[in-house]
Amino acid sequence: MNEKTHVILTRWAKDFVNSACGRWYEGPAAEAMVKFSEDIDHVQDLEIVDVEFGRDDPHKREFAALDDIPRYGFLKKDYTAFNHFIDIQKGDGLFDDYDGYSYQRGSAGRGQYESIHASLPAYLKPFYGRMKVDEFIHFGLNDEYVHAYGHKWYRDCSPSLQHYSYPGDLKRHASVKAELAARFPLADCLGKKGKGVPYSVFMPVDNMGRYWYGRYLQGPRKRQHLLGAVLHAVQDACVPHHAAGYNGNWHARYELDLDCYAAPAILRPRFRKEVEEKVWLWLHSKSPAPPASLALRDRHLTPSPQWKVEQDITWCALHAYHEYVRTHHRYQKGYRRSGRSMHRLLVLAAAMSILILIKAHSEHRGKRKTRTCKAPKNR
């Protein structure tokens, strides 16, 4: 989801809660939350190193070496966005219940249909125009590695990886350091099998939301802005491509169309009515204890305020992946906009954003009880 739609949705959810529940999210902190829902795409918390004829310290200039080059993004896209996917299509994850984006060890290396041809300058089209989008991205990064905690010369340059790592969940790795070593293999300058970015498994977006929600709960009320990152995670999980693990397959075009669709859609009474119905259903859900994990069939479950934030995010992704398969047929026949599908997922993203805000207010430091939220009358 592009920054424009994140801002629109987050502000709309904030205003909804203020009108339905009380003035919980007002003032500079609330505006900072809206801003952070946009800025989390550009925090530069993930470093990728381009290896030049043998690995060396990318943070130090050396006289007798072709220096490796540390980078945080490319062409106005920060690499941290690799942490904003959850690969539902692949099924069970290697490091989490569902893994994040990966080319060789996830879904991105197969099921691609969009060519990079239209995005390339004319002089490159004869050479690379037949490549698919994800293929082209990782062709360019095949001699690069994610600089993770535990690697040599690490300088706290990829803090998101430590923050979003939870090895205790599956207990397959003894520590964060051990898990990151397995997730992010080092690369050689020419690119070799099993090494570098194509074989890396990035952090899933539900881990991102989990981390920032935990940070919010641990801090004073002035940390309200951190919820912007949590809502960003919810909203990205409601994009079909983010839930299926693809940068390509007309992902960029879908999000541009969503930018155009979202602004007028949220002004319609029908949209607000559908969001209200979901929120009140979830708030009053009498579902049993939160599930330990979520399978594809569990999209039919009814979330409740007792669910963990990461479960809420994964549940949204299950619905987005269902749209990817059932509505868009995995984009095997190209791109075709579906307004109905966008509407369903936009309603879901707005309703879950509201549920998270209500939940956050009631759970902060365990000191606040949930106040009764009443559905405002439609005007």
The pLDDT value given to residue 120: 82
CA distances from 4 to 103, 260, 345 (A): 27, 10, 16
The 10s digit of each residue's pLDDT in 274-319 is 999 999 999 988 776 788 889 999 999 999 999 999 999 999 999 9
The pLDDT value given to residue 378: 45
Which pTM value belongs to this model? 0.94
Is residue 66's pLDDT more than 90? no
The 10s digit of each residue's pLDDT in 103-133 is 999 999 999 999 998 888 888 888 888 899 9
CB-CB contact of 183 with 96 (8 Å):
no
**Taking residues 159-177, what's their average pLDDT?**
96
* Rounded-to-integer distance, Cα 43 and Cα 216, Å: 17
Tokens coding 62: 């050396």
* Rounded-to-integer distance, Cα 161 and Cα 174, Å: 16
What residues contact 261, with CB distance under 8 A and at least 6 apart? 339, 342, 343, 346
Looking at 9-18, 169-178, 219-228, which range is the least confident one?
Answer: 219-228
- What mean pLDDT value characterizes the chain? 91
* H or E element that contains 69: strand 69-71
pLDDT band at 158 (very low <50, low <70, confident <90, very high): very high
